[in-house]
Chain A
Amino acid sequence: MERLHTGPAGGRLDPAEYESNFSDLHPRFGKHEALVASDRCYFCHDAPCMTACPTSIDIPLFIRQISTGNEIPAAKTILEQNIFGGMCARVCPTETLCEQACVRNTAEEKPVDIGRLQRFATDAAMDAGRQFFKRAAPTGKRVAVVGAGPAGLACAHRLALKGHDVTVFDAREKAGGLNEYGLATYKASDNFAAREIAYILEIGGITIAAGKSLGVDFTLESLRADYDAVFLGIGLADTNALGIEGEELAGVEDAVDFIAGLRQASNKADVPVGRRVVVLGGGMTAVDAAIQSKLLGAEDVTICYRRGQAEMNASEFEQELAASKGVFIRHWMKPKTIIGDNGKVVGIEMEYTEMRDGRLVGTGESGLIPADHVLKAIGQKLVPAGLEGLALEAGRIVADETGKTSMPKVWAGGDCVAAGEDLTVTAVAQGRDAAESIHCALTGV
Chain B
Amino acid sequence: MADLRTDFVGIKSPNPFWLASAPPTDKAYNVERAFKAGWGGVVWKTLGEAGPPVVNVNGPRYGAIWGADRRLLGLNNIELITDRPLEVNLQEMKQVKMNWPDRALVASIMVPCNEESWKAILPLVEETGADGIELNFGCPHGMSERGMGAAVGQVPEYIEMVVRWCKQYTRMPVITKLTPNITDIRHPARAAKRGGTDAVSLINTINSIVSVDLDNFSPQPMIDGKGTHGGYCGPAVKPIALNMVAEIARDPETYGLPISGIGGVTTWRDAAEFLTLGAGTVQVCTAAMTYGFKIVQEMITGLEAWMDEKGYASLSDFQGRAVPNVTDWKYLNLNHITKAHIDQDACIKCGRCHIACEDTSHQAITEMVDGVRHFEVKEEECVGCNLCVNVCPVENCITMVPLETGMMDERTGKPVSPDYANWTTHPNNPSAQQAAE
At the interface, yes or no: B381 with Cβ under 8 Å from chain A? no
At the interface, yes or no: A132 with Cβ under 8 Å from chain B? no
> Contact: B69 with A42, CB < 8 Å?
no
Contact with A along B339-376 (1 / 0, CB 8 A): 00000000011111011000000000001000001000
At the interface, yes or no: B68 with Cβ under 8 Å from chain A? yes
- Of the candidates B70, B349, B355, which one forms a contact with A48 in the assembled complex, judged by CB atoms under 8 Å apart? B349
CB distance from A34 to the nearest CB of B (A): 13
- Of the candidates A39, A43, A48, A107, which one forms a contact with B69 in the assembled complex, judged by CB atoms under 8 Å apart? A39
> Contact: B348 with A107, CB < 8 Å?
yes
- Of the candidates A35, A36, A40, A48, which one forms a contact with B373 in the assembled complex, judged by CB atoms under 8 Å apart? A48
Residues 7 to 57 of chain A near chain B (Cβ within 8 Å): 35-36, 39-40, 42-48
CB distance from A429 to the nearest CB of B (A): 22
A44 in contact with B69 given A107-B393, A107-B394 (CB within 8 Å): no
> Contact: A36 with B352, CB < 8 Å?
no
> Contact: B69 with A36, CB < 8 Å?
yes
The residues of A that contact B351 with a CB separation of less than 8 Å are 44-47
A103 in contact with B350 given A46-B367, A48-B373 (CB within 8 Å): yes
> Contact: A43 with B352, CB < 8 Å?
yes
Alpha-carbon gap, A47 to B350, bound state (A): 7
Alpha-carbon gap, A377 to B394, bound state (A): 45
The residues of A that contact B348 with a CB separation of less than 8 Å are 103-104, 106-107
The residues of A that contact B394 with a CB separation of less than 8 Å are 107
Alpha-carbon gap, A43 to B356, bound state (A): 12
The residues of B that contact A107 with a CB separation of less than 8 Å are 348, 393-394
CB distance from A360 to the nearest CB of B (A): 35
Alpha-carbon gap, A46 to B365, bound state (A): 14
Alpha-carbon gap, A48 to B351, bound state (A): 10
Alpha-carbon gap, A48 to B70, bound state (A): 26
In this complex, the interface size class of chain A, counting residues with CB under 8 Å from chain B, is: 10 to 19
The residues of A that contact B352 with a CB separation of less than 8 Å are 42-45
A105 and chain B: residue at smallest CB distance: B348
The residues of B that contact A44 with a CB separation of less than 8 Å are 349-352
Alpha-carbon gap, A35 to B69, bound state (A): 8
Residues 278 to 336 of chain B near chain A (Cβ within 8 Å): none
Alpha-carbon gap, A322 to B266, bound state (A): 46
The residues of B that contact A46 with a CB separation of less than 8 Å are 351, 355, 367, 373
Alpha-carbon gap, A107 to B393, bound state (A): 9
> Contact: A45 with B69, CB < 8 Å?
no
Residues 392 to 432 of chain B near chain A (Cβ within 8 Å): 393-394
> Contact: A42 with B349, CB < 8 Å?
no
Alpha-carbon gap, A43 to B351, bound state (A): 9
The residues of B that contact A43 with a CB separation of less than 8 Å are 352
> Contact: A45 with B393, CB < 8 Å?
no
The residues of B that contact A47 with a CB separation of less than 8 Å are 351
In this complex, the interface size class of chain B, counting residues with CB under 8 Å from chain A, is: 10 to 19
Contact with B along A293-337 (1 / 0, CB 8 A): 000000000000000000000000000000000000000000000
CB distance from A317 to the nearest CB of B (A): 22
CB distance from A172 to the nearest CB of B (A): 43
The residues of A that contact B349 with a CB separation of less than 8 Å are 44, 48, 103, 106
CB distance from A5 to the nearest CB of B (A): 51
- Of the candidates A35, A36, A42, which one forms a contact with B393 in the assembled complex, judged by CB atoms under 8 Å apart? A42
> Contact: A42 with B350, CB < 8 Å?
yes
B368 and chain A: residue at smallest CB distance: A46
> Contact: A45 with B355, CB < 8 Å?
yes
The residues of B that contact A42 with a CB separation of less than 8 Å are 350, 352, 393
The residues of B that contact A35 with a CB separation of less than 8 Å are 70
CB distance from A261 to the nearest CB of B (A): 45
CB distance from A190 to the nearest CB of B (A): 30
CB distance from A396 to the nearest CB of B (A): 30
* Residue among A40, A104, A107 with the highest chain B CB neighbour number at 10 A: A107
The residues of B that contact A106 with a CB separation of less than 8 Å are 348-349
CB distance from B364 to the nearest CB of A (A): 15
> Contact: B68 with A45, CB < 8 Å?
no
Alpha-carbon gap, A104 to B351, bound state (A): 13
Alpha-carbon gap, A46 to B350, bound state (A): 8
CB distance from A30 to the nearest CB of B (A): 14
Alpha-carbon gap, A155 to B188, bound state (A): 72
> Contact: B70 with A45, CB < 8 Å?
no
The residues of A that contact B393 with a CB separation of less than 8 Å are 42, 107
CB distance from B368 to the nearest CB of A (A): 9
Alpha-carbon gap, A103 to B354, bound state (A): 15
The residues of A that contact B354 with a CB separation of less than 8 Å are 45
Contact with A along B56-86 (1 / 0, CB 8 A): 0000000000001110000000000000000
Contact with A along B244-282 (1 / 0, CB 8 A): 000000000000000000000000000000000000000
CB distance from A70 to the nearest CB of B (A): 13
Alpha-carbon gap, A106 to B69, bound state (A): 20
Residues 52 to 104 of chain A near chain B (Cβ within 8 Å): 103-104
Alpha-carbon gap, A106 to B397, bound state (A): 13
B354 and chain A: residue at smallest CB distance: A45
CB distance from B345 to the nearest CB of A (A): 10
CB distance from A61 to the nearest CB of B (A): 13
CB distance from A82 to the nearest CB of B (A): 23
The residues of B that contact A45 with a CB separation of less than 8 Å are 350-352, 354-355, 367
B375 and chain A: residue at smallest CB distance: A45
Alpha-carbon gap, A237 to B314, bound state (A): 80
Alpha-carbon gap, A107 to B397, bound state (A): 11
CB distance from A319 to the nearest CB of B (A): 27
CB distance from A108 to the nearest CB of B (A): 9
Alpha-carbon gap, A44 to B70, bound state (A): 21
Alpha-carbon gap, A45 to B69, bound state (A): 22
A47 and chain B: residue at smallest CB distance: B351
Alpha-carbon gap, A249 to B348, bound state (A): 55
CB distance from B120 to the nearest CB of A (A): 52
Alpha-carbon gap, A235 to B349, bound state (A): 37
CB distance from A331 to the nearest CB of B (A): 34
Alpha-carbon gap, A343 to B286, bound state (A): 77
CB distance from B274 to the nearest CB of A (A): 29
CB distance from A329 to the nearest CB of B (A): 33
The residues of A that contact B68 with a CB separation of less than 8 Å are 39-40
B358 and chain A: residue at smallest CB distance: A45
The residues of A that contact B355 with a CB separation of less than 8 Å are 45-46
Supplied contacts A42-B352, A103-B349, 13 more A-B pairs, CB within 8 Å: A36-B69, A40-B68, A43-B352, A44-B352, A45-B351, A45-B352, A45-B355, A46-B373, A48-B349, A48-B373, A104-B348, A106-B348, A107-B394
List 24 contacting pairs A-B, 8 Å CB cutoff, sorted by A. Answer: A35-B70, A36-B70, A40-B68, A42-B393, A43-B352, A44-B349, A44-B350, A44-B351, A44-B352, A45-B350, A45-B351, A45-B352, A45-B355, A46-B351, A46-B355, A46-B373, A47-B351, A48-B349, A48-B373, A103-B349, A104-B348, A106-B349, A107-B348, A107-B394
| Chain B residues near A (Cβ < 8 Å) | 68-70, 348-352, 354-355, 367, 373, 393-394
The 3 closest A-B pairs by CB, nearest first: A45-B351, A45-B355, A106-B348
| Chain A residues near B (Cβ < 8 Å) | 35-36, 39-40, 42-48, 103-104, 106-107
